[in-house]
Amino acid sequence: MDVNGSNDSENINKVIVVNQKAVEKVLIQWNKIHTGKPTDKELDKLLKDYMQDEILYREALLRNLDMDDEGIKQILVDKLKYTMSDSLNISEVSLEVLKEYFNANKDNFTEESEINLTFGQLYLNPQEHTAIDLVAKKLLKNIESLPYSQKMSEKGDKFYAGSYFNNLTKKELSHSFSRSFVNELIKLPKGQWSILKSGFGVHLIYMLEMHKQKVKFEDIKERVKDTYIIEKNRDAYKIFYEKIKNQYKIIIDSTKNGTSE
């Protein structure tokens, strides 16, 4: 501590250095808006603005104005994540690594338009049945050992889009069913009956075929690379966070409003 009672960190914080790095910084901001170099007078104004911002910024920190400000907190959190991610420097990845990653994660690169479904259904209209869930369970019990045939659709009610859907993509099916219903369809097992509900009623579905078209690495190489880098950054962030988390002591205050009663 010096004779004025100020600590070293406070003194250091109040030293504003205007060097070549500072000049380059203000020129970068200038070039975002203007073309050509600033005049000497303009550069002098830029540097004065830079010094003013630095002084006010550091004074704000000394007065703890950043404390409990959720907006500032989120900006700093995002900046730390970005800085940490950027420091990985894994933008260049070998083709061998990308191909290995692609082969291990092919299903993740299958687009909706590349999934084709073939299935039959028995439809139950809620306006035609009371206790429709019981009706569906009873019907399922009667047919669960039988494979689907189009003739079986007579056991159900008439559905406006039909009872048999042949080799259709998710996008094509979305014209007849909701997206959420179609997302449930692709989870169904092949070669057996399943019950699904929709806004139309109850559907007994027999999945006949589900074909995922083969995706070629050469066609989506850049997408594979982007996905790989995002995943590696996410993994690195988890490691980074766990490492620094261990340096902090977490205290869970169980008293009401953080105070003792």
The whole-number pLDDT of residue 249 equals: 82
Structural domains of the chain, ranges and CATH numbers in brackets: 8-87 (no CATH), 111-212 (3.10.50.40)
Contacts of 169 (CB under 8 A, 6+ apart): 112, 113, 114, 115, 116, 117
Alpha helix (H) ranges present in the chain?
Answer: 8-13, 20-31, 40-62, 70-86, 95-104, 132-143, 170-173, 179-185, 221-245
Residue 173 has pLDDT above 70, yes or no: yes
Count each helix (H run) and each strand (E run) in the chain, helices first. 9, 4
- Percentage of the chain lying above the pLDDT 70 cut: 87
Q: Which residues pair with 123 in a beta bridge?
A: 157, 203
Say yes or no to pLDDT of 71 above 90: no
Cα–Cα dist 174/172, whole Å: 5
Of the candidates 177, 203, 181, 201, the one whose C-alpha atom is nearest the C-alpha of residue 128 is 201
Distances (CA, A) of 240 to 81, 82, 127, 245, 249: 10, 12, 57, 8, 17
* Gap between the Cα atoms of 148 and 191, Å rounded: 9
pLDDT in tens, 204-251: 999 999 887 777 888 888 889 888 888 887 887 788 888 888 888 877
pLDDT value of residue 111: 64
Tell me, yes or no, if the pTM score tops 0.85: no
Q: How far is CA 68 from CA 41, 65, 118, 252, in A?
A: 40, 8, 57, 18
Is the pLDDT at 185 greater than 90? The verdict is: yes
pLDDT at 63 over 70: yes
The answer to whether residue 83 scores a pLDDT higher than 80 is no
More confident residue, 12 or 192: 192
- State whether the Cα torsion 241-243-249-253 is positive or negative: positive
pLDDT at 76: 85
